[in-house]
Amino acid sequence: MSKEIEIFAKKIRRNIVETAHNAGSSSAHIGGALSSVEIVATLFGNVMNYNNKNFNSLERDRFILSKGHACLVYYCALAELGIITHDQLKTFEKSESDLLGHPIKNKKIGIEFSNGSLGMGLSLGVGVSIACRKKNLKNKIYVLVGDGECNEGSVWEAAMSAAHFKLDNLIVIIDRNNFQQTGKSDEIMIYNDLKKMWDSFGFLTKEVDGHNINQLLDVLKKNNTSRKPIAIIANTIKGKGISFAENDNNWHHAILTKNMYEKAKQELE
């Protein structure tokens, strides 16, 4: 199964580069999208009860992209699932497109929630988790947040609520690529031990290599008997998969020139 997810991830990564190049936009944010690829591929490719047949079903699992600027990883996964088309990817950030620089709620194409300001996604996840529990649904709610996003106080308010209500149907995945818009995360707001922080807020917290599909599968598919929400700290590399973008924060929102695009495409092939 990990081999199938690996293939899925490679397709998503190629789609991100292709779509960003077509858009010619700095708001494609490919660095943060590329760091999340294996996480999203594992969720959509195997873990979640979510596909092109049931994506509007009440019983489906929910995915909330809280780090909304990384939307290309989300859109490209939806394209590989067949929920949107690859032609729709070509409209990214074009006039009248449904695929903008941050996700805009549109259940017809599988986008669960809008996202603009950072720090919103976990609060949404808490609300949906409570609603699903009240409806006696057995689905799970997955929220992908950024490590820089954890600077937002609203993240920790939501975390307190999740632990207080014992939302064991809620899984938070922190994409820890160690950068945010203006620099290294630890230089802007240091976290001495992010795992201990989530533990202290009442989560069952695990730490994995966010590019290791077997590790992701192991932690995401493990049955939760703790009655606690889960936090998974996924250690990743910003710009993963493209040599000149890896760990280079200029690729938070740099534009792929034609030469760079050709080099990236060659590496990914």
Res. 238 pLDDT band, cuts 50 70 90: very high
The pLDDT tens digits of the residues spanning 173-231 come to 999 998 876 667 777 787 779 999 999 999 999 999 999 999 999 999 999 999 999 99
Which two structure tokens, joined as six digits, stand for 188?
Answer: 């802007």
**Quick one: pLDDT at residue 211?**
98
**Quick one: pLDDT at residue 25?**
77
Domains (range + CATH), the chain: 2-268 (3.40.50.970)
**Quick one: pLDDT at residue 183?**
61
pTM of the predicted structure, to 2 decimals: 0.96
Average pLDDT over residues 133-146: 97
Residue 36 confidence (pLDDT) above 90:
yes
Least confident of 16-30, 127-141, 146-160, 226-240: 16-30
Tell me the HSE value of 46 on the side-chain side, using a 13 A CA sphere. 21
Least confident of 46-55, 80-89, 260-269: 260-269
